[in-house]
């Protein structure tokens, strides 16, 4: 029996945050706009632009923040999601693409 992946597409306003409690094997695709992804216990800043994908190998939670109005698609065998009501996540380092969009860590 072949299991079809679950898919979820969302339109996120600027600075909206979407939480994945377990990002393991979840494919995150930026369809429009720009997304900033942070994963618990991972110092990387992942920024996706239209057409780019990211897939985490860890079982940590991930925050997906919209740097501008964005459309995102999540695909996985099993999705577990939660919505956060807060501003964009704060990090110790910021790639230049965040700075160009007027965002910088505190």
Is the pLDDT score of 89 beyond 60?
no
Q: DSSP assignment, residue 67?
A: S
Q: Does domain 9-83 have CATH number 1.20.1270.10?
A: no
Is the pLDDT score of 93 beyond 50?
no
Q: Dump pLDDT digits (tens) for 20-76.
A: 888 888 999 999 999 999 999 999 889 999 999 999 888 999 999 999 999 999 998
Give the CB-side neighbour count of residue 42, counting CA atoms within 13 A: 16
From residue 39, alpha-carbon distances to 5, 32, 45, 95 in Å are 22, 21, 8, 15
* Cα 61 → chain centroid: 10
In this predicted model, which residue has the larger pLDDT, 90 or 48?
48
Domain boundaries, the chain: 9-83
pLDDT at 100: 57
Across the range 79-89, mean pLDDT stands at: 52
């Amino acid at each position: 029996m072949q299991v079809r992946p679950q898919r979820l597409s969302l339109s996120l306003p600027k600075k909206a945050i979407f939480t994945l409690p377990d990002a393991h094997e979840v494919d995150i695709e930026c369809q429009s706009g720009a997304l900033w992804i942070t994963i618990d216990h991972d110092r990387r800043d992942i920024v996706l632009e239209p057409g780019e994908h990211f897939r985490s190998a860890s079982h940590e939670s991930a925050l997906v923040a919209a740097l501008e109005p964005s459309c995102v698609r999540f695909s996985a065998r099993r999705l577990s999601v939660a919505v956060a009501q807060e501003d964009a996540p704060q990090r110790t380092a910021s790639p230049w693409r965040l700075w160009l969009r007027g965002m910088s860590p505190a």
